[in-house]
């Protein structure tokens, strides 16, 4: 049990959640961490808490570098319970602590916990709090991804404590990006962005812009590994800029589920049509891939084909779940194509079209066929796709 020094007298005191496999609906195959930090200065400051189930570990880690009775401040960058769950415990251990947060953070704390007796320093954009040799600067990033979200900049150390922004659900032996294969960290940063931050692309753009005047040589997020050095910092900021722009990479994703194999045959034909047109394509069976993995594929796609069997005159449940999820995430600027295999009542492809329309996507003429598609039908859907997308 050891705190890890990330800058002179600034320590990681977070916890690693090796058992987390699903974070409010999206899969986390690399698990996660809840990162908190302790800054040793004239006024000892803790930044962010941890999930309640791992509170003891965080408390013990803090104790290796700081005496709780001497802690002056706790910065609450975000109240979601993965970062705030153990704050009541911290406040019992050290009731003299003043909580630094923005007004939305204070309100959210009061709506989660019994905050009787807690004292606050309420900050707004650009406010500075001196803790001795160091100055903390606060940058609210509202709706990235809660109203209370903010980031804390330690001016003298050029360190950004970014909470959810720039995080990844990665739990590794090291807490530094440089010690983990970069492809793994970027893939998980993308999973994280696609599943959590997609609805807030504009806020991400604003946040990136509001940070552009800060000199940053380390970003220490609330989840996963720490970006250290100019090269890593530029890499993740530039990558966020690209993701938040909503730019696509021009490829297609075919998403489907199947009851007796007919929709799978249609999906193969749709994929084959994209192949013939020279459009790179990814095929995703919801029987084999979790919807949260599919959305990471979908994030930079231009064309999205969704195929469903009809079940009781409705969408197949996995397809309905997927569509509800992507509608909530609000992916923009895509071209949607619906296809459907039905038994005796056509029309379910239109339900998919409705989702596309609600998301503001351009739509193509859907394709539906009855029972098992023979080779003629498969040729027809191929030609239909080619005609629609040419």
Residues that are catalytic: 24, 78, 80, 82, 145, 164, 192, 223
Q: Which residues pair with 319 in a beta bridge?
A: none
Measured CA distances, 279 to 82, 271, 296 (Å): 41, 9, 18
Answer yes or no whether residue 31 interacts with ligand FEO by CB under 6 A: no
Angle at 368 between CA 365 and CA 372, to 5 degrees: 150
Of 19 and 362, the one with the shorter C-beta distance to ligand FEO is: 19
State the sign of the Cα–Cα–Cα–Cα dihedral 21, 23, 28, 34: negative
Question: Could you tell me the smallest distance in angstroms from the CB atom of residue 167 to ligand FEO?
Answer: 7
Q: Are 381 and 264 in contact (CB under 8 A)?
A: no
Closest to ligand FEO by CB, 83 or 283? 83
83 binds ligand FEO (CB under 6 A): yes
> From the CB of 127, what's the least distance to ligand FEO, in Å?
22
Using CA atoms, how far apart are residues 49 and 229, in angstroms rounded to an integer? 25
Closest distance to ligand FEO from the beta carbon of 26 (Å): 12
Question: Which residues in 49-78 contact ligand FEO (CB under 6 A)?
Answer: 78
Question: What tokens were used for 230?
Answer: 């100019």
| Structure tokens that stand for 102 in this block | 């923005």
Nearer to ligand FEO, 36 or 341 (CB): 36
Smallest gap from Cβ 208 to ligand FEO, in A, equals: 18
Instruction: Report the residue number, 83 or 265, with the smaller CB distance to ligand FEO.
Output: 83
CB of 15 to ligand FEO, least distance (A): 13
User: Which residues, numbered 213-242, are part of the site for ligand FEO (CB under 6 A)?
Assistant: 222-223
Looking at beta carbons, which residue is closest to ligand FEO?
80
Least Cβ distance, residue 116 to ligand FEO (angstroms):
25
CB neighbour list of residue 381: distance below 8 Å, 6 or more residues apart: 266, 269, 270, 273, 339, 367, 369, 373
- Interacting positions 90-149 with ligand FEO (CB under 6 A): 145-146
Q: How far, in Å, are 311, 316, 338 from residue 256 at the CA level? A: 14, 9, 10
- Cα separation, 103 vs 348, whole angstroms: 47
Report the residue number, 17 or 82, with the smaller CB distance to ligand FEO.
Answer: 82
Q: What is the length of the chain?
A: 390
The verdict on 80 binding ligand FEO (CB under 6 A) reads yes
Please name the helix (run of DSSP H) or strand (run of DSSP E) that holds residue 221, with its range, or none.
strand 218-221
**Binding positions for ligand FEO, 157-186, rule CB under 6 A:** 164
Please list every residue from 281 through 320 that binds ligand FEO, using CB under 6 A: none
DSSP class of 157? G
Number of residues that bind ligand FEO (CB under 6 A): 9
Of 82, 148, 188, 232, the one binding ligand FEO by CB under 6 A: 82
Look-up of token digits 């909580």: 99
Residues of this chain that interact with ligand FEO (CB under 6 A) are 78, 80, 82-83, 145-146, 164, 222-223
């Amino acid at each position: 049990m050891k705190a890890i020094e990330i800058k002179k007298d600034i320590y990681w005191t977070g916890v690693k959640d090796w058992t987390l496999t699903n974070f409010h609906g999206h899969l986390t195959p690399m698990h996660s961490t809840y990162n908190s930090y302790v800054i040793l200065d004239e006024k000892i400051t803790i930044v962010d808490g941890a999930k309640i189930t791992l509170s003891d570990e965080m408390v013990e880690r803090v104790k290796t570098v700081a005496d709780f009775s001497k802690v002056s401040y706790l910065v609450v960058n975000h109240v979601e319970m993965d970062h705030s769950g153990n704050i009541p415990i911290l406040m019992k251990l050290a009731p003299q602590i003043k909580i630094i947060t923005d007004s939305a953070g204070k309100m959210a704390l009061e709506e989660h916990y019994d905050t009787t007796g807690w004292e606050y320093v309420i900050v707004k954009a650009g406010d500075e709090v001196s803790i001795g040799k160091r100055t903390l600067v606060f940058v609210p990033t509202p709706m990235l991804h809660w109203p209370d979200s903010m980031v804390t900049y330690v001016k003298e150390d050029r360190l950004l404590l970014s909470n959810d922004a720039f995080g990844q659900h990665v739990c590794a032996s090291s807490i530094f990006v440089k010690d983990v294969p970069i492809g793994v960290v970027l893939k998980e940063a993308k999973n994280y962005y696609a599943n959590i931050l997609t609805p807030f692309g504009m806020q991400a753009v604003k946040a990136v812009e509001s940070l552009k005047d800060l000199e940053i040589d380390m970003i220490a997020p609330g989840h996963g590994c720490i970006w250290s050095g100019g090269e890593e910092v530029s890499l993740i900021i530039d990558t966020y800029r690209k993701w938040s722009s909503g730019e696509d990479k021009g490829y297609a994703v075919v998403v489907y589920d199947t009851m007796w194999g007919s929709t799978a045959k249609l999906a193969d034909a749709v994929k084959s049509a994209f192949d013939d047109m020279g459009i790179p394509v990814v095929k995703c069976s919801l029987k084999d891939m979790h919807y949260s993995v599919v959305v990471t594929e979908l994030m930079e796609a231009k064309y999205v084909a969704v195929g469903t069997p009809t079940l009781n005159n409705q969408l197949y449940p996995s397809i309905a779940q997927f569509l509800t999820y992507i509608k909530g995430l609000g992916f923009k600027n895509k071209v949607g194509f619906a296809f459907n295999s039905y038994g005796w009542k056509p029309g379910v492809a239109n339900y998919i079209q409705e989702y596309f329309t609600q998301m503001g996507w351009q739509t193509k003429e859907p394709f539906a066929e009855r029972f098992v598609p023979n080779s003629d039908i498969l040729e027809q859907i191929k030609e239909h796709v080619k005609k629609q997308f040419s």
